Structure 1
Amino acid sequence: MSEESRPEQGQEKSIRCHHCNTITAHKNIFQHYTFTTADEDYNPQNPDSTYQDLEEIFYISWVCLGCKNVTFEVKNFMEFPDGITRSNVNFYPEYNSNKKSTKNFKILPSEIISIYRESVLCYNTGAYRASAVCLRAALEGILSNKGITGKDLYTKIENFASQGILSNDIAKLLHTFRFMGNEAIHDLTKINPSLIEIKYAIEAIEIMIDYMYEAQNELKTKMRILTRMRDSESGE
């Protein structure tokens, strides 16, 4: 491998983060180098040193400058006396195009944040039944936190819908979460939620959280600012 293409500790480059699933800047925080060759006298530090077959392996730890998680790279480079070269690069953990990252909700109660994050974790590891159970628990936690009462989750959803806050279509969607969670717990033969079903279910819960917590809090903040501005103008 040429000196120009050798990785250097401390360097930065843009690669896809295998944790937050975005192409972002990463920093080389640690690397280890090994080599093997048929020539026992070969010295990679000596430019005049010769070899028969050379295999170089670089182990590199890249930290994402966004989410701060580490992706591990193994770069394998082989060079032969006839000038033929071969290279191979692998990243760990392996890239998953369907992987979801959790949203950073600011207003959501901590116990609901915890179960929401658990639902995403289960989804990312392929535990779709467990994710369905977590989503059902998150839904029940949201309704209870908003003061919606009822003897069971069905009644809570119906009572919530009767307040006019939710449309009938959204209420039907919430009942879908209830069915998925119930059957995932009580009868494993009835339901085996797919990746896409759980993905959409998580995204629907995220939209619900945005609407019921984040957006309303943002609206209240903007209204307070506007009120102070008007009071200030009227006092001049």
Structure 2
Amino acid sequence: MSEKNTLKNYCNEYDKDTNHIVLGQHTWHSAPEDYDHSQYHKLVKCLGCDNVSLRIEDHDLFFTVQNNDGEWIPDITIKNYPKKLQNHKKIDHDYLIPQLVRNIYKEVLLTLQEDAKILSSLGLRACIESVCNHLEITGRNLAIRINKLSTAGYISKKDAERLHAIRFMGNDSAHEIKAPKVDSLKIALEIVEHLLKSVFILSEQANGYLDTIIDKYELFETLLEKHLTNFNNGDEYPLYHFFEKDWRRVQDFISNFQTELIENINNSNFNLLEVGKKDINQKGDEIQHFIIKKNEIIE
């Protein structure tokens, strides 16, 4: 293999520059009366993974610099096709992101790939809006909705501050037609991807593997049903006794959970328990008991 037929080129698969072999080349030169530049279209193949791509070199012959050997080298701009957002790792398990949110996120990647800075900025802002929509976080503007994301426990206060920065950037692009810097967009993308992973991916992956806090009644009821199979018909205990160690997962929201549970029992929407007696603990707090209806539990 001749060294003249090999060159360093960016590889989409390896996400870095690798050795490529030139499979074919077409050269184009500007007309003498036009701006002096040439283009070299090269079909290249990575010597590591065999990935084939098109490399286009634009040689600006009007601007040249002299190298150490005294040779005059033109300014060269290189583009590779198909394009890829370089030095960016795709989110793993992105199928866990809701369809509409995922579609907007993928469109943002396309705009970044094409270096469309203003559209990228608007798209990142739209990603945040779509997350709020999916979670049914309401408010008359995005600033209020971001704050509600934090108060609802989906993100931290620091995360909210970072999302506000993306909101500012999107507003500047929309109202002032101001393009953000490349580095600003890279950081903003990382922040949005952190939001998507935290809200949709990590929470789903943690379920069943980590003892996460339960804040929804449906999940509370499912976990309660699981624990009730360990008790006998007629057993009467307060809720914390049924949950045992898993009590720590539900106790932060237990007041609301218990109220809804009693309502469902009275309406015959939950038939595994019936409402029992009330005790007073050492602190003087009223403790509600529940009675197992074992015959209703499916083994």
> What CA distance in whole angstroms lies between the structure 2 residues aligned with 1:58 and 1:138?
37
CA contact (8 A) 1:64 1:70 kept: no
- 1:171 is aligned, of 154, 160, 168, to 160
Decide whether aligned partners of structure 1 residues 183 and 64 sit closer, same or farther in structure 2, where only a CA change above 3 A counts.
farther
Structure 1 residues 109-143: Cα deviation after superposition (integer angstroms, max 9, x where no partner): 12212211222222222211110100000011011
> Which residue is equivalent to 1:103?
91
> Which residue is equivalent to 2:175?
186
> Which residue is equivalent to 1:136?
125
Secondary structure, aligned partner of 1:222: coil
Q: Which amino acid aligns with 1:100?
A: H
Q: Which amino acid aligns with 1:71?
A: S
Secondary structure, aligned partner of 2:91: coil
> Which residue is equivalent to 2:33?
none
> Which residue is equivalent to 2:11?
17
Secondary structure, aligned partner of 1:192: coil
Deviation at 1:214, TM superposition (A): 1.0
Deviation at 1:192, TM superposition (A): 2.8
Secondary structure, aligned partner of 1:106: helix
> Which residue is equivalent to 2:32?
none
Q: Are 1:62 and 2:45 counterparts? A: yes
> Which residue is equivalent to 1:43?
none
Q: Which amino acid aligns with 1:193?
A: P
Deviation at 1:162, TM superposition (A): 1.8
> What CA distance in whole angstroms lies between the structure 2 residues aligned with 1:20 and 1:147?
40
> What CA distance in whole angstroms lies between the structure 1 residues aligned with 2:14 and 2:192?
19
TM-score between the two structures when normalised by the length of structure 2: 0.48
- Any unmatched runs of 5+ in structure 1? 8-13, 35-56, 75-89
Secondary structure, aligned partner of 2:115: coil
- 2:197 is aligned, of 207, 210, 213, to 210
> What CA distance in whole angstroms lies between the structure 1 residues aligned with 2:121 and 2:44?
34
Q: Are 1:198 and 2:185 counterparts? A: yes
Q: Are 1:71 and 2:71 counterparts? A: no
CA contact (8 A) 2:147 2:160 kept: yes
Percent identity of equivalent pairs = 22
Secondary structure, aligned partner of 2:188: helix
> What CA distance in whole angstroms lies between the structure 2 residues aligned with 1:96 and 1:138?
20
Deviation at 1:198, TM superposition (A): 0.3
Q: Are 1:93 and 2:71 counterparts? A: no
For the aligned residues, what is the CA RMSD? 4.4
> Which residue is equivalent to 2:149?
160
> What CA distance in whole angstroms lies between the structure 2 residues aligned with 1:18 and 1:108?
24
CA contact (8 A) 2:85 2:109 kept: no
Query: Which protein is bigger by CA-based radius of gyration?
Result: 2
- Any unmatched runs of 5+ in structure 2? 27-39, 57-76, 212-222, 231-299
How many correspondences in the alignment? 180
Higher relative CO (Cα under 8 Å, sequence separation at least 6) belongs to 1
Deviation at 1:145, TM superposition (A): 0.8
> Which residue is equivalent to 1:120?
109
